[in-house]
Amino acid sequence: MINSPAAKARVLFVDDEPRVLTTMRMLFRAHYEVYFAEGGTQALELLKKQAVDVIVSDQRMPGMTGIELLRAARELNPNAMRILLTGYSDLNAIIGSINEGEIFRFVNKPWSNDDLSTTVARAVTAARASAAMTAKADERPAPAQSGPLPAVLVMDDDARVPPQIQAILGNECRVFGATTMSEAVDLLEREHIGVVISDTRVQDHPVVNLIGTLKQHHPELVSVILTERADAGAAIDLINQGQIYRFITKPIIDNACKITVNSALKQHERLSHSPELHQRYEVANTPEPPPPSSGTGRLLDRIRSIRSWVRRRA
**Terminal alpha carbon distance of the chain:** 29
Q: How large is the average pLDDT for residues 214-233?
A: 84
pLDDT at 147: 59
Q: Output 98 or 221, whichever has higher pLDDT.
A: 221
pLDDT at 119: 94
Look up the domain containing 18 and give its range.
10-138
> Which residues, 6 or more positions from 250, have their beta carbon under 8 angstroms from its beta carbon?
226, 227, 228
Q: Of 112, 138, 164, which marks where a domain is finished? A: 138
Instruction: Residue 97: name the closest of 228, 219, 263, 235 by CA.
Output: 235
Contact 256, 226 (CB under 8 A): no
pTM here is: 0.80
pLDDT at 291: 64
Query: Does the residue 143 lie in any domain?
Result: no
> Which residues, 6 or more positions from 63, have their beta carbon under 8 angstroms from its beta carbon?
39, 40, 41
Provide the percentage of residues in the chain whose pLDDT is more than 70: 84
Provide Rg for the chain, Cα atoms.
20
pLDDT at 311: 52
> Does 245 share its domain with 114?
no
Q: Which of 135-144, 152-161, 279-288, 305-314 has the lowest mean pLDDT?
A: 135-144
> Does 171 share its domain with 258?
yes
> Does 44 share its domain with 158?
no
Q: Output 87 or 67, whichever has higher pLDDT.
A: 67
In whole angstroms, what is the distance from residue 215 CA to residue 237 CA?
A: 13
In whole angstroms, what is the distance from residue 258 CA to residue 248 CA?
A: 10
Handedness of CA 190, 267, 67, 5 (dihedral sign): positive
- Packed helices 181-190 and 295-305: angle between N→C axes, nearest 10 degrees: 10
Query: Does the residue 62 lie in any domain?
Result: yes
Cα pseudo-dihedral 79, 219, 154, 304, rounded to 10:
-160
Contact 60, 39 (CB under 8 A): no
- Per DSSP, the three-state class of 30 is coil
Q: How large is the average pLDDT for residues 127-142?
A: 63
114: CATH: 3.40.50.2300
Q: What is the pLDDT of residues 162-183, one digit of tens each?
A: 999 999 999 889 999 999 999 9
Per-chain mean pLDDT for the chain: 85
pLDDT at 2: 44
Q: Output 89 or 250, whichever has higher pLDDT.
A: 250
Question: Residue 135 above 60 pLDDT?
Answer: no
Q: Of 114, 138, 162, which marks where a domain is finished? A: 138
Q: Output 97 or 182, whichever has higher pLDDT.
A: 182
Instruction: Residue 112: name the closest of 27, 43, 222, 11 by CA.
Output: 27
> Does 21 share its domain with 59?
yes
Cα pseudo-dihedral 81, 84, 85, 87, rounded to 10:
-170
Give the total number of structural domains in the chain: 2
> Does 200 share its domain with 223?
yes
- Per DSSP, the three-state class of 282 is coil
> Does 192 share its domain with 285?
yes
Phi, psi angle pair for 195, to nearest 5°:
-130, 135
Q: Of 94, 117, 138, which marks where a domain is finished? A: 138
pLDDT at 290: 63
Q: Output 233 or 203, whichever has higher pLDDT.
A: 203
> Does 296 share its domain with 181?
yes
Q: Output 11 or 100, whichever has higher pLDDT.
A: 11
> Does 197 share its domain with 274?
yes
Provide the percentage of residues in the chain whose pLDDT is more than 90: 51
> Does 183 share its domain with 88?
no
Q: What is the pLDDT of residues 242-291, one digit of tens each?
A: 888 998 888 999 999 999 999 999 999 988 888 777 777 787 765 555 66
> Does 278 share its domain with 182?
yes
Q: What is the pLDDT of residues 28-65, one digit of tens each?
A: 999 999 999 999 999 999 999 999 999 999 998 999 99
Contact 35, 63 (CB under 8 A): no
